[in-house]
Amino acid sequence: MNDAPASPPPPPARRDLWLYVGPFALFILLQTVPGLIKNPAATAPWFLRTPEFWVYPLQTLLCGAFLFYHRRDYPRGISPLAALVGLVAGVIVFALWISPQAFFGFAPRLDGFDPSRLLADGQPTATYYATVALRFARLVLVVPCLEEIFWRGFLLRYLIREDFTALPFGSWSPLSFGVTTVGFLLEHSRPDWSAALVTGIVYNLVATRTRSLSACVLAHAVTNALLGGYVMQTHQWGFW
C-alpha cells in the first residue's frame, strides 16, 4: 500500500495564464487611463479633456486584436440547446438590467459616454458613426469574449485547481461559484451592483449547465447588444 502523499497539481503554464488573463488585464488597465489623465479645463487639449473618445477605441482595437489572434486557442463549439440557453439567458439578463428604469420608475441613467457630443448641428458625422460602431464592437464582441474567458473560463476553474485547463469548462465548486459572482459584481459600477450580482449567477449557471464557453459569450453578447440598442433609443448613457 502506497501511503505517499498525493503530489500537488502542476501550476498553470504561462501560456494558459496569458491567454485567459491577458486580454482582461489589458482591458482593465486601459479602462483606468481616462480617469488618470482627464483634465476638464477648457484650455486643456482635446485628448486630455475627453480621453475616453480615444482610449476606448484603442482599448477595443487592442483587446480585439489579441482575441482574434488567439481565437483558436480557446474552447469552441456549441450545441443547439446550449445556444438556446445562452440566447434566453441573455434576454432575461437584459430585462433585469433595465428593469429599475424601464418598469419601476427609477431615475434615468443619463451620465456616461455620450457620442451625441460628436454631432455637428444635430447631424451625425463620420467621427460619430465610427465612434458608435467601435462602441458596439466593444460592447457586443470584445467585452463578452474577454470577460467570459476570464470569469468563467479561468477563475471559475482556477479556484478549484491551479492547473485549471485540466478541468472541463464549466467545472465549479461553491467557493469558485461565489467568488466569481462577487468578482463580476465588483467589476461594475455601484449603481449596477444588484443587476451585476444576479447576472454573474446567471452566466455562471450557463457555464455549469451547458459546459460551453460559446454559450456564455452568446448570452453576454445578446445582453449587451440589447442594452446598446436601449441606450441609443433612450440616451441613458450610464448603461454603456
pLDDT at res. 120: 85
193 class by beta-carbon count within 10 Å (0-12 exposed, 13-18 middle, 19+ buried): exposed
Contact in structure between 50 and 86 (CB atoms under 8 Å): no
pTM of the shown model: 0.90
Residue 96 C-alpha cell reads as 433585469
* pLDDT above 70 for 57: yes
pLDDT in tens, 195-230: 999 999 999 999 999 999 999 999 999 999 999 999
* Percent of the chain predicted with pLDDT > 70: 95
Domain membership of residue 42 (yes or no) is: no
Backbone angles phi, psi at 123, to 5 degrees: -110, 140
56 or 104: which leads in pLDDT: 56
Residue 182 C-alpha cell reads as 462577487
pLDDT in tens, 30-43: 999 999 999 999 89
- Rounded to whole angstroms, how far apart are CA atoms 137 and 156? 26
Domain membership of residue 25 (yes or no) is: no
Domain membership of residue 107 (yes or no) is: yes
Contact in structure between 82 and 210 (CB atoms under 8 Å): yes
Number of domains in the chain: 1
Q: Roughly what angle, to the nearest 10 degrees, separates helices 52-69 and 14-31?
A: 170
How many angstroms separate the Cα of 240 from the Cα of each of 81, 143, 196, 236? 30, 11, 14, 8
Domain membership of residue 35 (yes or no) is: no
Domain membership of residue 179 (yes or no) is: yes
- Rounded to whole angstroms, how far apart are CA atoms 235 and 233? 6
Domain membership of residue 45 (yes or no) is: no
Alpha helix positions (H), the chain: 14-31, 33-37, 46-49, 52-69, 80-103, 126-137, 143-148, 156-158, 174-187, 193-210, 213-234
**Segments forming the whole domain that contains residue 119:** 77-239
**What 3-state class would DSSP assign to 172?**
coil
- Rounded to whole angstroms, how far apart are CA atoms 227 and 213? 21
pLDDT in tens, 144-186: 999 999 999 999 999 999 999 999 999 999 999 999 999 999 9
Domain membership of residue 194 (yes or no) is: yes
- Rounded to whole angstroms, how far apart are CA atoms 17 and 113? 31
Domain membership of residue 70 (yes or no) is: no
pLDDT at res. 191: 86
- Rounded to whole angstroms, how far apart are CA atoms 55 and 60? 9
pLDDT at res. 238: 86
